[in-house]
Amino acid sequence: MACKRFENSVVMITGSARGIGKAISMAFAEEGAKLALTDKDMEELKRTLEEVKKISPESRCYELDVTKEKMVREVVEAVLRDFGRIDVLVNNAGVSTMNWFWELTEEEWDFNMNVNAKGVWLVSKYVAPSMMERKKGKIVNVASMAGKLGAPLLAHYSASKFAVVGLTQAMAKELAPYGINVNAVCPGFVKTSMQDREVVWEAKLRGIDDPEKVRKEYIEMTPLKRLCYPEDVAKVVKFLASDESDFLTGQAINVTGGVCVH
């Protein structure tokens, strides 16, 4: 029987109801991890938990809005009570909207910044102390290719994801003395329900008659000539959470099929 790399490890994942978060959840469950799944959408999260529990029966789910500090603190405390520790934290919760930067509303700006950047900081803030006590832990932040390359129509989203990359670097240096590794993944054009919305928005903003033409552009821009899938991202997250990455910290690893190479 193949060795399961995360046998009995406790992995907390934010934004785990669907898309990349769900793929990450399934990947860790298949490797023997016990999962603390969190999301705002409890209905969808419970469906994901049902699938996860078929292979990881001790896993649990928790309603969490990563922008609310009191809720974050209470959920982290509940996870620590229920599981005793958190070995791996995956900060995956994220949102996007699209607009020309000069037409962005303050509400759009704050929505992206609060979930994508503030949320990573808040959850890490409350998980890190328990890892620091044990002098062990892995934190993986889901950033974006837009955190390396400013993206048209996504100025606010890019700004929030650049923030995640900077936060990752700073956290890595602060937590290194405690034996905690902090890294990020930067996915490219990922085939998710978020992308399904984005191609419609982009087509409308650019005056393109068929959203699928936008998706074809994404594929053409990708040297490996296909979209990124959530499972592609999950594989790299697992690597960064494993012992194999023990000498990596402060990195932002591209999963873009060659679109971004720095």
Q: Which active-site residues does the annotation give? A: 157
Q: Which strands, in side-by-side order, build the sheet including 10-13?
A: 60-63, 34-39, 10-13, 88-91, 137-142, 180-187, 252-255
Asked if 92 and 18 touch (Cβ cutoff 8 Å), the reply is no
User: Tokens in use for 95?
Assistant: 């949102």
Rounded to whole angstroms, the Cα distance separating 76 from 12 reads 9
Rounded to whole angstroms, the Cα distance separating 243 from 199 reads 38
Rounded to whole angstroms, the Cα distance separating 249 from 125 reads 17
Q: Give CA angle at 141 (104, 232), nearest 5°.
A: 95
Q: Which of 19, 20, 17 is nearest to 237 (CA)?
A: 20
